[in-house]
Structure 1
């Protein structure tokens, strides 16, 4: 039987286990949640810029996976990952990824697969 996948935004309730008990749950709000058979299969974030928001995606993945004891894939979509530079009439653009952050987090913390879609 084929699995039915559901795509939506919303909040995922994550149990926090301490000393073998669940004293409370944490709410994780996400832009895109992929579920199959009632289980979260992937979590996505939609951001308008990468400069100030890239770190949060890696932190969210690390904490979510640590709290759920799972290896749930996380991904990000950046709508405007460039900034203008220069002055009229010599405008240009440059990327907003802070130098080395994506590579450093991917190598030393928890990889998020990078795929450029043009």
Structure 2
């Protein structure tokens, strides 16, 4: 009789302890995220870091500097003509849609 009365209460207690544990883990993860974001915020407060990011991400240069962009093209294999791109250059949008449907249906064109 005692087990019958205490069983559901014990199960509820164990379930709640498990939920508390998972929520504590979640809070710890969120605190780590907040710490990382605060660190990044501090970095963005530094003028040299902002300049570095503008140069890297946005390709900004100072007055008088010459920007260079290196493009690595594999010239050993020529680029294959894309049938959808070719259709897009010579037809209206509905023609482009129809051409893409035809290309998708064609088993002879290799999948990308």
TM bucket normalised to smaller: under 0.3
Tell me the TM-score normalized by structure 1. Answer: 0.22
- Structure number with greater Rg is 2
**Higher fraction of strand:** 1
Structure with larger RCO (C-alpha < 8 A, sep 6+): 1
**Higher fraction of helix:** 2
Tell me the TM-score normalized by structure 2. Answer: 0.23
